Structure 1
């Protein structure tokens, strides 16, 4: 049985508010009208969705908890479509743009992007959010929650619109007194203790997986979700880290660390890309943002 699309907003409000009274207020409906919508939703899903629990008030059923994130992402997409306009004036827009981007790529993109944004769209705002290892299975949902997701190309879901930003390569980061030199001997690397960022299962582009693929998982002793944390770890702990080369070039100068290029046969270079939900493609504000990011990177 198909769900009446007019029930999507009441469903979203009920799942978020977990209360008929609060959902009615959020929707600007009367409480009886909201109760009627809940009744129709219960019949559709053959589930009460909201139940009273003694001492805990109204709670979501297991099905309602599963639906909550999906419905929220769907409503974001619907709002993006409904709010689309055939014109966009950056000089007057107060829109907040959100970008999911690691600290390594943010170091490359963010400074110049913020300067251009303040110049061309002085009332607009920018929110930068960092990815985590746990986020990989939900990347399609992240595309609907953010204007852009900036990641290595192999990390992005198949079939989504993408824009190649730049080529990147890996670098080893070591302390200043470390004896690692070029050319790098793979056998010598196998005797090192490592720190790595983004430990993502079944992701060959993940730095932790690149190290483990080389047979060094027994000595991968520090795992983080921030590349910037690795510099302090390497400086103080005598470890070796795998870091994007642009970040290594910039940050090693400010830390008691240095970097050595990673041979292509050990960890090949890769593309950094920006991806977005197909729903954003024709949005003029989003198109302006994509063009701005491409211009800044170029």
Structure 2
């Protein structure tokens, strides 16, 4: 008990340490904590004295952690997460009795193929999700993980090869890619050949609005290339565009099936090998023990079972 109540042990110092570790900047850490830069600098000085290590060293405009700071990172973050869970007032959750809103960040394509069942339940007040509301946000690869950290996003869904060490992730389903086109304007019959695939211009889905993707790397390895005439961040705008343009697009299989049925387009397997990929959901670990957040994750998993 003496060590727990030691005057040198200030839990606010751990919050400063965590903010510096995440931001690598005194100014950004101060903004995240809502304090002045001098307060962060003072706290870092106290931490250095307490630990006997510089902890963070300025390198090229960034505060890089020392090996000692890297070793402290995980146990100190677990301490903060444990405190947050212990102090949480939420002990149970009944979606029929309690008002709760969630923010889910995912692509429009995943919204269409995975979340329509959940949205259907939200429109029926007699079912389990009676008093829940959901805000669906576009998937922003550069901002989504920050949204989990600052609490503006509850759940991220998509292809998530990397998350931060304080995020939890859970597998939902596996998908792959196929071609999609209008057979009235692109007179091909499935399965199309590699020559056909590269002969027509392409409309490319891209979350960042780029004009190349892994498809171009695969084609380059085969000694060929395609012409990307346009790209769009809105996956579900693609079928309407293809309805009126002689282009080919490459989409996740389940999204392509959804689009083909809705607009009357043709699907073909890719004329070259392409690896499957996993769709998963990620959330901040502070929400792992939350009953309401657990309800949301279970509900998403229920929808994903039909896609496996």
Task: Please report the TM-score for the alignment, with normalisation by the length of structure 2.
Answer: 0.64
Q: Do residues 183 (structure 1) and 191 (structure 2) align?
A: yes
Q: Which residue is 2:178 aligned to? A: 171
Partner of 1:250: 258
1:122 aligns with 2:130: yes
* Corresponding residue number in structure 2 for 1:109: 114
After superposition, the C-alpha distances for 1:94-135 in whole angstroms (9 at most, x for unaligned) are: 121111111111112222112334422322210111113xx3
Cα deviation code 1:25-64 (max 9, x no counterpart) = xxxxxxxxx9xx7874686689xxxxxxxxxxxxxxx99x
Give how far 1:275 is off. Answer: 1.5
Partner of 1:221: 229
Aligned to 1:294: 301
CA-CA distance at 1:238 after TM superposition: 1.0
Change (3 A) 1:235 1:121: closer
| Aligned ranges 1:142-291 → 2 under 5 Å | 142-144=147-149, 145=151, 146-153=153-160, 155-157=161-163, 160-177=167-184, 178-198=186-206, 208-215=213-220, 219-262=227-270, 265-291=272-298
Question: In structure 2, do the counterparts of structure 1 residues 172 and 181 end up closer, same or farther at CA, with 3 Å as the change threshold?
Answer: same
Question: Which structure: greater helix fraction?
Answer: 1
Q: How many residues of Structure 1 are paired with residues of Structure 2 in the alignment?
A: 245
Cα distance in structure 2, aligned partners of 1:151 and 1:125: 21
Where does structure 2 lack aligned partners over 5 or more consecutive residues? 1-8, 17-26, 46-60, 63-76
Deviation at 1:188, TM superposition (A): 2.9
**Partner of 1:89 in structure 2?**
94
1 CA distance for matches of 2:213 and 2:180? 14
| CA–CA distance in structure 2, aligned partners of residues 270 and 209 of structure 1 | 12
Shift of 1:284: 1.3
Deviations 1:170-211 (A, max 9, x none): 12111122233333322332222111112659x9xx983323
Distance 2:242 2:107 in 1: 19
Q: CA deviation at 1:237?
A: 2.2
- The offset of 1:239, in angstroms, is 1.0
Q: TM-score, normalised by structure 1?
A: 0.66
8 Å Cα contact 2:156-2:282 kept in structure 1:
yes
- Assess if the C-alpha contact under 8 Å between 1:84 and 1:283 holds in 2: no
Q: Residues 227 and 207 from structure 1, CA distance in 2 versus in 1: closer, same or farther, beyond 3 angstroms?
A: farther
Residues of 2 paired with 1:287 and 1:4: CA distance? 28
> How far apart, in 1, do the equivalents of 2:242 and 2:212 lie?
15
d(CA) in 2 for partners of 1:282 and 1:166? 23
Cα separation, 2, equivalents of 1:262 and 1:253: 19
Residue pair 2:216, 2:226 contacting (<8 A) in 1 also = no
Given that 1:174 and 1:258 are in contact with CA atoms closer than 8 Å, whether structure 2 keeps it comes out as yes
